[in-house]
Structure 1
Amino acid sequence: MNPSPLSRRDIFKLVAAASAAGALAPAGAEPPKPLTRHFKNTLSDPDYAHPSIPWDKPLEKSELATLAVLVDLILPADETSPAASSIGVHDFLNEWVGAPYTENRVDYEIIRGGVAWINTQAWKLHGKAFTEATATQQTAILDSICDATKAPPELASGVRFFQKLRTLTLGGYYTHPATWKSLGYVGNTPIAGPYPGVPEEIIKLLGLEGL
């Protein structure tokens, strides 16, 4: 579940910035300061044989326990795919919200605040933490915040949290190899004989018949 700490887009940005700095500097000027990032460790090429992330994971065990229940309610196991928690989607969320980028820091506030909100809601309605509530009680809480058009204004914080959680959960889940089968992905599989082309059902689905 650990993506590379430096994407291809990030590399292009760094190279472009370094090139521009060198090209624009006047003769005799001081060399530009080295580019820096807010990483705990020194920036370097990713080591795919020993993957790691250069920032801390900020969520507490109790928060991760709540997220493990939540991601399984969103994506439970079925006949072709594992439950979200079994492939570490809650750990992916912990890694995601710890990243030192503006978008991720905003998500950190939403996720951590949302976990607190949903536990408060469980105590308010059932006198227990969300993880201790029954599956029916847990589902009822999520049903009350899963549709922004139907949720009352007083649940707006919960709605915002669930929208973000659902998006991140789906992203973390379907980027894990264990779930690719359910998407119909068959990459890295050799094809015997000539390439058969795009399946007819896909062509029909896209409305490209006869092209």
Structure 2
Amino acid sequence: MSCYLGGLFSKDNLWSRRRWLNSIAILCGAWLGKFSDTDAKDYELSRHEDTLRILVDSILPADDLTPAASTLSVHSQLLAIAQQDATLGRLISQGCGWLEQTYGALSALNTAQIEQLLQAMSVADWESGPRVFFHEIRDRSVQLYYADSRSWAGLAVNRPPQYLGYPAAVEK
């Protein structure tokens, strides 16, 4: 196994088996809380802001009716929550650090490459670091995005899509 993502990147950026396993161990360790809470406070989450912004915008891009996630400050909200939630702080720090170390600046990748990267992360082994990181960031981003009324443009709702659910649809 010389590269998890096939021919997506140049040979200089291919993942070796050791690098891949090390990345998984780091991310799983962050997810499982193997680091102390004081370690999480030492992470400089703000240095990962650009990577997180590109990540959430790739998950929730702008379209004709709705803004991109970063327009609604989803990445900033995630970082603010991570300052109070040590587990999320570790996950963001380790996950974004892994992306930056492996691929460099995500801004250097084109849309197709980022989509391929997200696809690979989303279908990685269930408890692998990349999959845990992707799903946690995706789930939290979607939650924060749709909590903002500016994301509802074009939807037939006047409140967040969940919490109260859709009683009218259930009653039919």
- TM above 0.5, one fold? yes
1:121 lines up with 2:93 in the alignment: no
Give the counterpart of 2:75 among 83, 90, 111. 90
- Separation (CA, whole Å) in 2 of partners of 1:180 and 1:58: 33
Question: Is the contact made by 1:75 and 1:83 (CA closer than 8 Å) also made in structure 2?
Answer: yes
Give the counterpart of 1:186 among 158, 161, 165. 158
* Aligned sequence identity (%): 26
> What residue in structure 2 maps to residue 25 of structure 1?
none
User: Kindly tell me: are residues 182 and 162 of structure 1, through their superposed partners in 2, closer, same or farther at Cα, counting changes over 3 Å?
Assistant: farther
Alignment of 1:1-211 (within 5 A): 59-61=45-47, 63-99=48-84, 104-122=85-103, 128-147=104-123, 151-152=124-125, 156-186=128-158, 203=168, 205-206=169-170, 208-209=171-172
User: Kindly tell me: are residues 144 and 162 of structure 1, through their superposed partners in 2, closer, same or farther at Cα, counting changes over 3 Å?
Assistant: same
Determine helix, strand or coil for the equivalent of 1:77: coil
Deviation at residue 176 of structure 1 after TM alignment: 1.5
User: Kindly tell me: are residues 97 and 164 of structure 1, through their superposed partners in 2, closer, same or farther at Cα, counting changes over 3 Å?
Assistant: same
What residue ranges of structure 2 are gaps of 5+ in the alignment? 1-42, 160-165
Root-mean-square deviation over aligned CA pairs: 2.5
Q: Which has the larger radius of gyration?
A: 1
Deviation at residue 184 of structure 1 after TM alignment: 2.9
Deviation at residue 182 of structure 1 after TM alignment: 4.5
Determine helix, strand or coil for the equivalent of 1:76: coil
Deviation at residue 158 of structure 1 after TM alignment: 0.8
Deviation at residue 97 of structure 1 after TM alignment: 0.3
Q: Which has the higher contact order (CA 8 A, sep 6+)?
A: 2
Equivalent residues, number: 124
What residue ranges of structure 1 are gaps of 5+ in the alignment? 1-56, 123-127, 188-200
- Separation (CA, whole Å) in 2 of partners of 1:182 and 1:112: 35
Query: TM (normalized to structure 1)?
Result: 0.52
Deviation at residue 58 of structure 1 after TM alignment: 5.0
CA deviations on 1:128-151 (whole Å, 9 max, x unpaired) are 43221222221111110113xxx2
Q: Which amino acid in the other structure matches residue 139 of structure 1?
A: E
Query: TM (normalized to structure 2)?
Result: 0.63
Question: Is the contact made by 1:58 and 1:94 (CA closer than 8 Å) also made in structure 2?
Answer: no
User: Kindly tell me: are residues 116 and 72 of structure 1, through their superposed partners in 2, closer, same or farther at Cα, counting changes over 3 Å?
Assistant: same
> What residue in structure 2 maps to residue 22 of structure 1?
none
- Separation (CA, whole Å) in 1 of partners of 2:131 and 2:120: 8
